[in-house]
Amino acid sequence: MKRIFLCIFLLVMAAVPGRSDGPVNSWFDGLDTTSFLLIDKQKLTLSLVGPGGQVERTFGIACAINPGNKLRKKDHRTPEGRFPINQILESGYLSHDFRDGKGPIRGAYGPWFLRLDVPGFIDIGIHGTHLPESIGTRSTEGCIRMRNADIVDLKELVAVGMPVVILPDTLSLPVDAFLSRLAGTDAAIEPPEETDYPTLTPMSSPEKKRRYGALPWALLALLTVAASLILIKKRHADL
């Protein structure tokens, strides 16, 4: 019996709209009057969003191999949340060993590395790549990877301190729902136009009886069946 009630409780809680998106709403606080970067790990895109939630540019990206929020080093996950850019570094001279037997690869980070201020992780950022064919895939160790030409363009559009919102892999609301909030469209919904509706005539008592008279009996029958099933299950459990 406890299992039955627990399953019903979990199903009800899972059906509550917006539960998983609660923290995400706070990531957009104060961004209605400023520009920021929005990273969508589902669509594998990075967008420059202007004041009022207007998308100005969108680029393809690659992100981490594993889904979910980053919890520890080397878990191959891209962090989720809101983080500012804290450094813009020239990275053309940097090398990285991908542990694939090819050794250190010079230029693995492309020409620019936009480091993000992610608590506990100093090496997470947005950068270029020597593997442009990887864009549009989940293939990184945690960073956000862009085509070199795109990171060059993006570098001219950002600055230290600019917020970066990285959305979770799973959302119950579409991304546009969060951006529309920045535009204030949620509060600007116009009331419906006035319309001449037909006059409704109240049902007479005999008509109500004909239409709804059997409803209490049907409910009583359903409750009786449910109670019988519970008693049968309990009796079997006691044997």
- For 141, the token pair is 């160790």
For residue 36, is pLDDT > 90?
Answer: yes
Confidence of residue 99 (pLDDT cuts 50, 70, 90): confident
Q: Residue 64 pairs with which residues in a beta bridge?
A: 140
Q: What is the pLDDT of residues 59-80, one digit of tens each?
A: 999 999 999 999 999 999 999 9
User: What's the pLDDT at 188?
Assistant: 37
For residue 85, is pLDDT > 80?
Answer: yes
For residue 216, is pLDDT > 80?
Answer: no
CATH 2.40.440.10 fits 29-183, yes or no: yes
User: What's the pLDDT at 14?
Assistant: 36
Give the whole-angstrom CA distance, residue 49 versus residue 36: 5
Domain ranges in the chain are 29-183
CB atoms under 10 Å from CB of 173, counted, come to: 13
For residue 215, is pLDDT > 70?
Answer: no
User: What's the pLDDT at 198?
Assistant: 43
Give the whole-angstrom CA distance, residue 131 versus residue 168: 25
User: What's the pLDDT at 201?
Assistant: 45
Q: What is the pLDDT of residues 154-192, one digit of tens each?
A: 999 999 999 999 999 998 889 999 999 998 865 433 444
Backbone dihedral angles phi then psi of residue 238, each to the nearest 5 degrees:
-85, -15
User: What's the pLDDT at 21?
Assistant: 64
Give the whole-angstrom CA distance, residue 170 versus residue 100: 30
Share of the chain above pLDDT 70, in %: 68
Give the whole-angstrom CA distance, residue 202 versus residue 106: 81
